[in-house]
Amino acid sequence: MKVRKNIEGVFIAAAVVATFASFATAQNPQSRVTSAPAVIAAADASIPTVVVSARRLTEAEKAALN
């Protein structure tokens, strides 16, 4: 009967234990960490960049558009 009254606390405790257990048992893939910056640098070189420069509209110009 007490478990039914405190089911929220039991659920939160189980979620905390499961979260810490997943972090404790996770493996760190070293090969992906070391090779990722080279792939990102190569991809950034081929991406075209667009620069837009313009002045801001005044309140009167904004009102005229609507």
pLDDT of the residue at 16: 94
Among the residue ranges 22-26, 33-37, 49-53, the one predicted with the least confidence is 33-37
pLDDT of the residue at 39: 53
For 20, the token pair is: 């810490």
- Dihedrals φ, ψ of 28, to 5°? -95, 115
pLDDT tens-digit series, residues 44-55:
667 787 888 889
Mean pLDDT of 25-35: 61
DSSP the chain: -HHHHTHHHHHHHHHHHHHHHHHHH----HHHHHHHHHHHHHHHHHS-------PPPPHHHHHHH-
What is the Cα gyration radius of the chain? Answer: 27
Mean pLDDT of 4-12: 87
Mean pLDDT of 21-27: 82
d(CA 39, CA 45): 10
